[in-house]
């Protein structure tokens, strides 16, 4: 694996690990699943396949961010707006 791709993979892993701290099922659950996903593809040497896997990981990162924003939005909406309709 090229050093540039290695750096990207490590950066992706760290970012996902950071995002996993707020995962609804718990950080330990997320960490174990993340580690298993990365170990499953550890022997991959094809640069194109690695780039595809990195793109998939970035997509998962965006989905997690969307999940967290939606959860925060719902919590704020519930706190400040009542569902009572006159």
Residues 11-63 pLDDT 10s: 999 999 999 988 888 889 999 999 999 999 988 888 999 999 999 999 999 99
Between CA 8 and CA 64 the distance in angstroms is 19
Single pTM value for the model: 0.77
Q: Where are the domains positioned within the chain?
A: 2-79
- Phi first, then psi: give them for residue 45, nearest 5 degrees: -120, -15
Residue written as token pair 């967290």: 68
> Residue 27 has which token pair?
């950080």
Tens digit of pLDDT for each residue in 1-19?
457 789 999 999 999 999 9
From the list 7, 6, 27, the residue with the least C-alpha distance to 18 is 27
């Amino acid at each position: 694996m090229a050093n540039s791709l290695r750096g990207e993979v490590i950066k992706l892993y760290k970012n996902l690990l950071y995002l996993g701290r707020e995962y609804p099922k718990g950080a330990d659950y997320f960490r174990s699943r993340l580690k298993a996903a990365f170990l499953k593809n550890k022997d991959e040497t094809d640069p194109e396949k690695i780039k595809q896997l990195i793109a998939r990981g970035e997509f998962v990162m965006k989905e997690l961010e969307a999940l967290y924003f939606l959860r925060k939005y719902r919590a704020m909406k519930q706190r400040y707006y009542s569902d009572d309709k006159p």
